[in-house]
Each structure stands twice: as C-alpha cells, then as structure tokens.
Amino acid sequence: MRDKVRRTISRYGMLTPGERVLVAVSGGVDSVVLLRLLYELRGELGVSLAMAHLDHRIRGADSEADAAFVAAEARRLDLPLVLEARDVPAYAEGRGLSLEEAAREVRYQFLEEAAAKVAADKVALAHQRDDLVETLLLNLIRGAGLAGLRGMAPVRGRLIRPLINCSRAEIEQFAGEQGLEYRQDRTNLELHHLRNRVRLELLPLLETYRPNIAARLAQTAQLLGQAADYLEGLAEARLEQMIISRGADELLLDRRKLLGEEPLLQSTVLREAVRRVRGTLRDLEFGHLQKMLELSRRPQQRLELDLPGGVRFRREGDRLILTKAGREEAEPRGYEFPLSLGKNTLDEIGWELTLEEAEPPGVFAEERLQVLVDRDRIAEPLTLRIWRPGDRFRPLGMRGTKKLQDLFVDEKVPQRERGQVPLVCDRRGIVWVVGLRISEDYKVTEATRRALRIRARRLER
C-alpha cells in the first residue's frame, strides 16, 4: 500500500516538498487509511498536514459521532482540524437537488473554504479505484458521454486522490493489519441508492463474467479520461475560432464554422459553449447536444431550444446564440400549498383547484385542466408547488421517468411560463403537471376502487 501510494503521488506529481495538505477525513475506512499513509509519509514527502471534516446533518447522532471520532484523531495526531456542520437536507430542498448532489456541492464548497483557512496548497480526497469504477458504471447507466465516462481524475486543480489506484479490498486489508479504527456508514448498505446497488450487486455480478474486472474498468476509465481531455482541449481552441461575440451571459457562434467540424467535435464544442455561459454542465445530457445540432442543421432560419439551468439556444440565420436567463426567470420564487377535498382557492398564485371523490369510470375523457387519478395510490398529504430543477416523474404511458425540464421542452412551454405551471404532488412525487400530463403511477385502471377528480382553473386577475 505504501509503495503504491508513493508511486501514485510521484506519477501524477501530486505533491511538492514544502506544501501543506488538507486531508478530507469522513471517518470511514478510506479516509482513515489515507490519513495514516500521508501521516507516515509526510517527512519523506516534505509536506505538512491539516484535517477537515464536514457533518452533513443527514444521519443524526451517527453524524455527530463521526465528527467526534475525527476530532479525537486530530488531537491524537496533533494536527490542525477544520470541523463544521452544514444542513445539507435544507440545501437540497432549497435548490431542488437530490441529497447526493447537494452533499457533493456543499462538501466541495466546504473543502475550498477549509483549505483557505489553513493555507493548504492541496486537498487530499480518499476516493479509491472502486469508487472510480462505480462512477464509470453509474454514468454509463445514466447515458453519459465521453467526458462522463472518464470518472474521477487523479489530480484536478488542488484536489488530489492518492488512493486512486488502490482497491477497496486492499484498503480494508491494510486497515486490519494496522489495527486502525474507523466509522461505518450504514447508508452504504441501503439498496435504494443506485450507487450502492452498483457496488453491492452489479460489480459482484460482473466479477463472475470476468475476474478482476474492476481493475480493467479502471484502466478503461483512465483511457477515456485521456481521450476526453484531448478532445476538450481541441474543442476549446475551435470554439474560440467560432465566437462572433461574447458577453457576461451570452455567446454568439458562427454556425457554418461549427458545422464544418467533425460531428464528435461539434457536440464537444457546444458542450463547452454551454459551460461558459452557464458555469456548470449539471443536467446537460447527450440528447440536449443532439437537439442543438439538429436545430443548427435545419433549413429554418429562426429556431430556439430551452436547456437546463435557464439557458436558451437560438438559431438566427448563420448565428447560434446561447443566452443565460436572468435569475428571476431561471429560478422562479418557490411556493408550496396544502390541498384538501373541496375547493382550494390560491389567490397568491392565481389558481383554484377543486378535489372531489369520484366513482371509477369505465371511460374517462381527460381534459387539459381536469384529471382523474387513483386515490388509493396517493401518499397523502397532497400539495401544490412549483417545479424545481432536477424534478422527475413518469408521464402517462411511459415506462421510465422523465425530467420535468425535458417535458417542458417537448411540450414547447416557454421558459418564462414554466414558473406558472403548478404541480400536484404527494409525499412520493409528482401526481399531475397541471395542464400537461398526469403520472403513470397514479392513473385509473380496472383495479381502481376509489378515484379522485382534480379540476384546475386560472383565477381572473
């Protein structure tokens, strides 16, 4: 283990003598082993160490115990510690993110701030080889492009991953041999998390087809990463040649120059253009890039497409325009109101919803503002709320889920009007996107015993 970590640090030029390294320590086995190895090698490497731990306030008393464990380790090793607690569930709810997405965003924000507090040159993360493989498989399942399949880079800016070539089995064996104590996160065993199913079910199954497949997949991820880095570097240079003009929230491109490139480079250029305008690529999928290219090739002179994160793509003749909507337009002010049987008049948002018990009909002609759903499938209470970035549901007639953002695009709902489309929801998710579609999960079937009729009406203003 020590030799492997030495080689990894040397191969990727992770550390330079005289640097201070902030070690992110969750208390789990990976981060405890990382801390031990860097502590043992600090004199040889000529670096000094500090520690950081973030309590995400997700696991209650277990999270507090993790923080206490890490604080005790810092005292034992006599290392500086930055220890904070942040309300990740509230952050996730306020921004319409999953807990996993919110935890990642908050964690990296915290590590940047912690590094500044202790004047750290590098931040060491405990991601290891199996994490890299799980990320590759997750992104493959979700339909990521080349960039998404490269997994985690050994070095990205000040972030370093000294354990990236070590397997989970090697790390656990080292911990056992050294008698290291560490914390167990019980949520890592919960199978409703897709990453856990990949770790606990999919990877062991793949091992039955090809022994040591994790090592081979890790090599594939590294090769894909090199290819993605090369392609992105090429795309950045090509994009500069295509830019007609740029502003703080807008980019104008030469359509003819874009279409003169190879197809793979075209989509990578557009991906980079979106990143420059929006600042992030979150929720941008391969299908969005294909739609942008399709509009660029059509004979019509004026076309437009709304993209995730409040970005609008327009084609005007031989100009392609990417514009970021103002914050007020991209992120409408949120609301959430309880709904009960009878008439619900919501003057604040200009809607009235009436909920009535109904007999399950043999045939029900669904109207735009009136639907019938299976009442016994509803996990009460029902609420009416605005859409949030990342919302998904299963539209009537579909097998899989769909992003609400994509439904708005498909139904040609203008960006400025999306904040006016209310959602009827229960504790599990979206029941009805008012005026558009109900969810397949709540439809009336032959087995329905009790139905609920929901009628919506816009109020006169």
* 322, 347: one domain: no
* 297, 209: one domain: no
Establish if 226 belongs to a structural domain. Answer: no
Check which CATH number belongs to the domain holding 191 and give it: 3.40.50.620
pLDDT of residue 431: 94
Establish if 235 belongs to a structural domain. Answer: no
Establish if 17 belongs to a structural domain. Answer: yes
Establish if 232 belongs to a structural domain. Answer: no
Residue 259's pLDDT band (boundaries 50, 70, 90)? very high
Establish if 189 belongs to a structural domain. Answer: yes
Q: Which of 220, 240, 256 is the last residue of a domain?
A: 220
The domain tally of the chain equals 3
Q: Which of 279, 297, 328 is the last residue of a domain?
A: 328
User: pLDDT tens digit string along 399-420?
Assistant: 888 888 888 877 877 766 777 8
Establish if 243 belongs to a structural domain. Answer: no
* 269, 366: one domain: no
* 135, 14: one domain: yes
User: pLDDT tens digit string along 84-114?
Assistant: 999 888 888 887 777 778 888 899 999 999 9
Establish if 35 belongs to a structural domain. Answer: yes
* 142, 17: one domain: yes
User: pLDDT tens digit string along 336-395?
Assistant: 889 999 999 988 788 899 999 988 765 444 578 999 999 999 998 999 998 887 788 899
* 28, 172: one domain: yes
* 159, 278: one domain: no
pLDDT of residue 363: 46
* 182, 163: one domain: yes
* 406, 323: one domain: no
**Are the beta carbons of 404 and 391 closer than 8 angstroms?**
yes
Check pLDDT > 70 for residue 23. yes
* 372, 441: one domain: yes
Check which CATH number belongs to the domain holding 403 and give it: 3.50.40.10
| 94: containing domain | 2-220
Establish if 237 belongs to a structural domain. Answer: no
pLDDT of residue 366: 56
pLDDT of residue 263: 87
Q: Which of 275, 309, 328 is the last residue of a domain?
A: 328
Check which CATH number belongs to the domain holding 314 and give it: 3.30.465.60
* 283, 321: one domain: yes
* 59, 205: one domain: yes
